[in-house]
Amino acid sequence: MYSHHRVLGFGHLVLISVALINFLELLYVGVVMGYGFRELGRALQMLKDVGVEGVIIGDTVLNYFLGVKELSGDVDLFVTSLSPFSDADLISARVERLGWDVGMTELGTPSVIALVEGKEIVIELYENLFDFYVPKQMVDGALTVKIGDFRSRMITLENYIVLKARAGRERDINDLQVISSLMNEGKLRINVRSIRKCSEFFDEDDWKSIVSRLRFVGIKV
């Protein structure tokens, strides 16, 4: 009889074993997978206390507006107090004083590995560099929201959607399709007029790409 069960090969077993070992090591040192907005708020405040502050721009924005309680991905922070690229050494020195580690993003800017109450949070620091671009209007128009027990700045959901559409990678399109479905189901309220206005912060070529991608996923702008 045909079976849908697949036999795992040696390579798969090795990968599973390595993943399990890494997980157990995290448990051993007291690091818990996943974190909440309370821990994130504390981490952002600690960064602010050492002079590193900015605006949340990544998927954390969507999770915030959806009311997600348990987070797991990286946090993208558009830094406004320093230059993550030019001041990378200074930022690293300040972060290390907190007892945290520092890695590197794909752009070569610091990636902070924060540890708050036994929970690891990766906060990637960005600025306008190479093809990575967040318009000044989005930064200036950021909301001040409560993240746990602290206040932080975050771009609007409409700005987040426009940035996703401009990036246009496969995972971005997939995320936009999910957002479109949530909008159609009434689970996410979006100001389409604001999206249209935000898209005009970019040049004509980018604007055309943004509008085309949004319409492709069913977001009518």
Quickly state the pLDDT bin for 57 (edges 50, 70, 90).
very high
29 pLDDT higher than 50 = no
Mean pLDDT of 127-135: 96
Helices 157-167 and 192-199 pack at an angle, to 10 degrees, of: 50
pLDDT of res. 158:
98
In the chain, which residues fall in CATH 3.30.460.40?
37-155
Strands (DSSP E) found in 38-135: 54-56, 75-79, 101-104, 110-116, 119-126
Quickly state the pLDDT bin for 53 (edges 50, 70, 90).
very high
CATH of 37-155 given 3.30.460.40, 3.30.70.150, 3.40.50.720, 3.40.50.300: 3.30.460.40
38 pLDDT higher than 80 = yes
pLDDT of res. 3:
35
2 pLDDT higher than 60 = no
pLDDT of res. 83:
98
30 pLDDT higher than 50 = no
Query: For residue 44, which phi and psi values (nearest 5 degrees)?
Result: -65, -35
pLDDT of res. 33:
61
CB–CB of 112/92 below 8 Å?
Answer: no
pLDDT of res. 166:
97
Kind and range of the H or E element at 24?
helix 10-28
pLDDT of res. 25:
45
Mean pLDDT of 168-184: 96
208 pLDDT higher than 70 = yes
Percent of the chain beyond pLDDT 70? 85
